[in-house]
């Protein structure tokens, strides 16, 4: 018996799909409409699949670059340098939103200074050489296998106030009346600081409002003392939030004096008010920043400020000016913590060929590192940023862990990850300028890192010592014999950093784009 043809009248599928003989005109119209809709959907699916194939074909030539490293290592600053180099117009578009960040940085720094002063009763006792933050919490130093200590060793910490001839916290008398003179000076200094605290109170009170404007009320668990965290696209949302709050306000009464032109221009009234307070208190900020007690506490390391704090306080006259607009250098020094993963897309000219780079800037706090893994799959290259100036610092999430030690552990995880075995790897040993500054001030590496021993405390010895530890980690986890490209960097230095970015671009081009047959 002959099998029925697809086109034969006795085809069971055709018979099943054949409309019934009793079909009415209305039923026929509904059936034809449904068939037309099904055909339209099918054609749309085919078109979507075709476009997706085209996108995938084009994306094969894209470069996916991950910026990895602990919090405050300089990843976001490096991202800004990429932005400045390959998409400068976008930085100009964001410039206004950075005013909020910079004002927050200044206000937060002032609050930190005043809070620390209050903990010490606004006085600097010369006979106490060690702050609670410097004091070790264990009777013996706890060094890990790589020789990096969790805490400064008690044998090398600054002397306890109970030892030696220094006596009680009130000082000792040498028979010349110096004790009473010293007490009088301390009282006068404390009175000055109390007066400054009162004058700066309205400005410091704006910290929480600025933080809320930036974060939208977001808090991050598992990140130590917390702080202000922003998601990707925070620049536009900061301005939108400000405009939303402006619209929700009642219009001012006719007798109220409001700068209408600034509101019409979309300026955030909160930022405008903080700017006004900065202008009014500029002299008070100068006086606090240059006060002998503050300088003494910084020198004795009872008051530890981040580099961005010192940068903006040194430039407070410019930041507090009524027509202040953030410079590119200001934006590079501004500090805001990234939450999650932010993607930045650049078209990079590599030897006459435009290649799309997808740069992913990730949050580096311990509680956010789990979000990195999904981006490992098809990564082409990684820039790992390790701050070598952080040898005397500890994680906010775990004050027992030295930040250099944490960087080494994190670098070990990256080097040993199976998904990243063939990924082009670049190491930025960052913040070398701050490292040099600390060493020039006489800070001893061996106090914080036990394995440093009696090596010379000069810059070249220290940076090569750190580099050797990272190279050792790479050698132990380098089954595929890939090259580790290492650079000593200060990513706030635009000229030097962009030269290094050019070198990184070319090395990625040689290692990956050639293998993908794109050149």
C-alpha angle 157-162-167 in degrees, rounded to nearest 5 = 130
Give the side-chain half-sphere CA count within 13 A for 316.
24
Using an 8 Å Cβ cutoff, are 426 and 385 in contact?
Answer: no
At 7, list the tokens: 């086109």
Among 388, 382, 406, 413, which residue's Cα sits nearest to residue 484?
382
Crossing angle between the packed helical segments 459-476 and 403-416, to the nearest 10 degrees: 30
Reading phi first (left if > 0) and then psi (alpha if -120 to 50, else beta), residue 346 is in beta
Distance CA 190, CA 395 (A): 32
Written as six digits, the tokens of 279 are 């202008």
Here the tokens at position 100 are: 């909020």
Cα distances from 123 to residues 182, 294, 302, 489, in angstroms, run: 11, 9, 12, 38
Consult the annotation and say whether 433 binds a ligand. Answer: yes
Q: 213: helix, coil or strand? A: helix
Any binding-site annotation on 486? no
**3-state class (DSSP) for residue 156:** coil
Q: Is 357 helix (H, G, I), strand (E, B) or coil?
A: strand
Q: 28: annotated binding-site residue? A: no
- Is 430 among the annotated ligand-binding positions? yes
Number of other CB atoms surrounding residue 194 within 10 Å: 13
Asked if residue 285 lies in contact with residue 327, where contact means CB atoms within 8 angstroms, the answer is: no
Whole-angstrom distance, CA of residue 262 vs CA of residue 29: 61
- Rounded Cα distance between 75 and 91, Å, is 16
Residue 158's nearest CA partner among 139, 198, 131 is 131
Is 254 flagged in the annotation as binding?
no
Phi and psi at residue 13, to the nearest 5°: -70, -45
Task: For residue 427, say whether it is annotated as part of any ligand binding site.
Answer: no
Strand 353-362 relative to strand 381-387, pairing: unpaired
- The reply to whether 166 sits in an annotated binding site is no
Residue 338 known to bind ligand:
yes
Q: How many whole angstroms separate alpha carbon 268 and alpha carbon 241?
A: 9
Does the annotation place 332 within a ligand binding site? yes
Report how far residue 27's alpha carbon sits from residue 24's, in angstroms, rounded to the nearest whole number: 5
Give the residue ranges of the annotated binding site for GTP.
Answer: 332-338, 430-433
Q: Which residues does the annotation place in the binding site? A: 332-338, 430-433
Residues making up the annotated binding site for Mg(2+) are: 338
């Amino acid at each position: 018996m002959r099998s029925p043809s697809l086109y034969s009248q006795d085809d069971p599928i055709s018979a099943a799909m054949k409309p019934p003989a009793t079909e009415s005109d209305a039923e026929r119209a509904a059936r034809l409409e449904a068939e037309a809709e099904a055909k339209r959907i099918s054609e749309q699916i085919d078109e979507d699949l075709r476009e997706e194939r085209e996108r995938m074909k084009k994306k094969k030539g894209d470069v996916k670059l991950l910026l990895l490293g602990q919090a405050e290592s300089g990843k976001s600053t490096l991202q800004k340098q990429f932005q400045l180099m390959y998409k400068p117009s976008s930085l100009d578009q964001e410039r206004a939103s950075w005013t909020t960040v910079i004002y927050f940085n200044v206000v937060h720094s002032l609050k930190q200074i005043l809070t620390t002063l209050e903990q010490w009763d606004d006085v600097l006792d010369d006979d106490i050489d060690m702050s609670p933050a410097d004091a070790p919490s264990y009777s013996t130093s706890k060094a890990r296998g790589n020789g990096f200590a969790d805490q400064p060793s008690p044998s090398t910490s600054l002397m306890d106030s109970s030892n030696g001839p220094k006596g009680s916290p009130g000082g000792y008398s040498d028979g010349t009346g110096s004790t009473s003179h010293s007490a009088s000076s301390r009282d006068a200094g404390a009175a000055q600081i109390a007066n400054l605290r009162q004058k700066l109170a309205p400005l410091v009170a704006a910290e929480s409002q600025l933080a809320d404007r930036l974060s939208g009320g977001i808090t991050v668990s598992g990140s130590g003392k917390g702080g202000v965290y922003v998601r990707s696209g925070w620049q536009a949302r900061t301005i939108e939030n400000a405009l939303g709050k402006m619209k929700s306000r009642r219009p001012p009464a006719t007798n109220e004096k409001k700068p209408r032109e600034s509101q019409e221009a979309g300026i955030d009234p909160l930022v405008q008010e903080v700017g006004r307070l900065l202008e009014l208190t500029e002299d008070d900020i100068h006086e606090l920043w240059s006060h002998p007690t503050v300088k003494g506490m910084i020198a004795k390391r009872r008051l530890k400020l981040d580099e961005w704090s010192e940068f903006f306080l040194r430039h407070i006259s410019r930041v507090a000016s009524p027509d202040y607009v953030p410079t590119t250098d200001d934006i590079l020094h501004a500090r805001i913590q990234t939450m999650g993963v932010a993607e930045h897309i650049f078209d990079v000219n590599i030897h006459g060929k435009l290649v799309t780079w997808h740069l992913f800037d990730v949050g580096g706090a311990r509680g956010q590192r789990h979000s990195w893994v999904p981006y490992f799959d098809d990564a082409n290259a990684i820039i790992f940023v390790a701050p070598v100036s952080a040898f005397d610092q500890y994680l906010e999430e775990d004050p027992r862990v030295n930040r250099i030690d944490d960087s080494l552990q994190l670098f070990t995880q990256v080097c040993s990850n199976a998904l990243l075995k063939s990924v082009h790897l670049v190491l930025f040993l960052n913040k070398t300028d701050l490292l040099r500054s600390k060493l020039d001030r006489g800070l001893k590496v061996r106090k914080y890192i036990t394995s440093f021993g009696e090596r010379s405390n000069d810059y070249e010895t220290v940076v090569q010592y750190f580099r050797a530890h990272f190279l050792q980690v790479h050698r132990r986890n380098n089954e595929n014999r890939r090259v580790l490209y290492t650079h000593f960097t200060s990513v706030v230095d635009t000229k030097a950093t962009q030269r290094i970015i050019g070198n990184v671009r070319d090395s990625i081009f040689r290692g990956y784009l050639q293998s993908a047959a794109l050149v």
